[in-house]
Amino acid sequence: MKAMSLGSGFDGCRTGGEDGFLSWTRFIGRALFSSSAVTPPDGDPPLDLLSRAALGPALHVALRSRDDERAAVLEDVHAGSSAQSIVLFELAERVRDWLEEADVPFVALKGVQSVARFCADDMAARPLADVDMLVGRRDFPFVLDKLLAKGLCLSKPHKPFTNRWACSISLVSKQGRMKAMLDLHQALHNWPLLSSMSRWVMDTREEVGGWPVPSIPASLLIIAAHRFRHAFMGDAREVLDAAWLLRAASRDIWFDTLDAAGRYDLLPALYVVMWQAVHWFGGSDEDKRRVLDLRASVGAVRSYALEKLISLEAGVTRGSSLPGGFVGLYLPMPLAMTGILPPLVAMAGYTGSRVMDEVVTGGRSGLVSRLVGRRVGE
C-alpha cells in the first residue's frame, strides 16, 4: 500500500483490480451524506461487488434520489431489504418495549442506531441483518430469561463454557415466514477485552428518535471493536455507519472519540475503520486529516503491519487474505489494540472454552474444523 497523502493517498489506492467499484461507493457516500447535486458515474454499476458489500439498497436510494433510471434494476433488492429491515425493526421495538416495561437500562447498537440517526425515513439505505441490544452484565440473566419467556429461542444450543467468555447470545424470533435475529450483548467483546467500555457506553447513551443509542464517540468505537473482532472483514454496512458518524462528528466530538480510543486501547482499530470509511465513501480534507493523524498516532510499524496483514477490501473486492476460522480472526487482535496482554488472554480463554465445549459435546461442535476455517472433508 502506498503511503497516503491528502492529494492522492485515498483516491489512488488500488481496488483489488475492480475498476469502478470505488467510484460507485463514493457516489453512494456523496448522495447519502450531501444535499447538493451529485452526478452518478457513467455506465453500469458493478452490481455483484456492490451486493457482496451489502450496498445494493443504498445504491438504489442514491440513484432514485437523483431520478436515475438505473435505480429500476435494484427495485427488487430494495424491496427485499425493506421487508427484512421492517421485520427486524419490529422485533427491536418489541424488545425495547419489554425492557422499558421491566425498567432495564439498555442501548440499541449498530444498525438500529444508524437507522434511528440517519435514515429512519428509508431504513433500506442501511440494511439490517440482525438487532443488537446491550444490557448491563448484572441484568443479562434476567433479560435473557424474559426474552425466552416471550417466545424467542436460542439460535444455537447452549454452550456452558463458551457463553461465559462470549460477549453476546443470539436469539431468534420467527415472524411468519421470516426469522429475525437478536444479539443480546452483555459486553462489547470477549472477556476481558473492553470490560469497562460497556459501562461507558451505557452511561453516555443518547436518546435519538425514541431510541437509547450510543453517543457518536461510543458508536465509532463499537464499530472499531466489532470489526477487529472479525478481522476487519465482511460487508460495508458498518463502514457506511462509520462514514456517516465521521461526518456528524464535530471537532469536539472527534477529540472525545480519540480520548476514548486511547483510554480503551482502540486507536489502531479505529484507524483501520476510519481508513476504510474514507477510502470507500470519500470524505473532506478534514476527514482525511483525521485519518492521517490517527495513522501517525498508531505509529509507522503497527500501521504498516495492519495494512499488510489485513486486506482493506477483504470480503468485498477480493475476499480474505487471511486464513479462515479462529486463526484468521485472531491474527489481527494484538495489532488492533494498543495493549498486547488483554487480546492474548481473550484469545486463550475463548479458545480454551471452545475446547471444553468440544469435549462436553463429544466433538459435535466442529471446533477443529473451524480452527482452520474449513469443514471436515473439504
What are 128-150's pLDDT values in tens digits? 999 999 999 999 999 999 999 99
Q: What is the pLDDT of residue 157?
A: 76
Q: Where are the domains of the chain?
A: 21-360
Q: Classify domain 21-360 at the CATH topology level.
A: Beta Polymerase; domain 2 (3.30.460)
Q: What is the pLDDT of residue 142?
A: 96
pLDDT (mean) for 24-49: 88
Q: What is the pLDDT of residue 368?
A: 47
Contact 116, 211 (CB under 8 A): yes
Q: What is the pLDDT of residue 373?
A: 44
| Average predicted confidence (pLDDT) for the chain | 82
Confidence band of 325 (pLDDT split at 50, 70, 90) = very low
Which uninterrupted H or E stretch holds 25? Answer: helix 21-33
User: Which of 35-44, 127-136, 235-244, 292-301 is the least confident region?
Assistant: 35-44
Q: Are strands 153-154 and 106-108 parallel, antiparallel or unpaired?
A: unpaired
Confidence band of 25 (pLDDT split at 50, 70, 90) = very high
Output the CA–CA distances (angstroms, integers) from residue 187 to 17, 166, 266, in the order listed.
38, 8, 16
pLDDT (mean) for 4-32: 63
pTM value is 0.86
User: Which of 145-149, 201-205, 341-345 is the least confident region?
Assistant: 341-345
Q: What is the pLDDT of residues 221-280, one digit of tens each?
A: 999 999 887 778 778 899 999 999 999 999 999 999 999 999 999 999 999 999 989 988
Q: What is the pLDDT of residues 71-97, one digit of tens each?
A: 999 999 999 999 999 999 999 999 999
pLDDT (mean) for 16-29: 77
Q: What is the pLDDT of residue 74?
A: 93
Give the Cβ contact number of residue 356 at 10 Å: 16
Report the alpha-carbon distance of residue 340 to residue 337 in Å, rounded.
7
Statement: residue 320 has pLDDT above 50:
no
**Strand pairing partners for 175?**
178
User: Of 261, 265, 293, 266, which Cα lies nearest the Cα of 278?
Assistant: 293
Q: What is the pLDDT of residue 223?
A: 96
Q: What is the pLDDT of residue 293?
A: 95
pLDDT (mean) for 154-175: 80
Statement: residue 8 has pLDDT above 80:
no
User: Which of 346-350, 358-362, 373-377 is the least confident region?
Assistant: 373-377
Contact 167, 190 (CB under 8 A): yes
Q: What is the pLDDT of residue 309?
A: 66
Q: Which of the pair, 14 or 19, is modelled with greater confidence?
A: 19
User: Which of 102-111, 183-192, 207-216 is the least confident region?
Assistant: 183-192
pLDDT (mean) for 283-311: 87
Statement: residue 1 has pLDDT above 60:
no
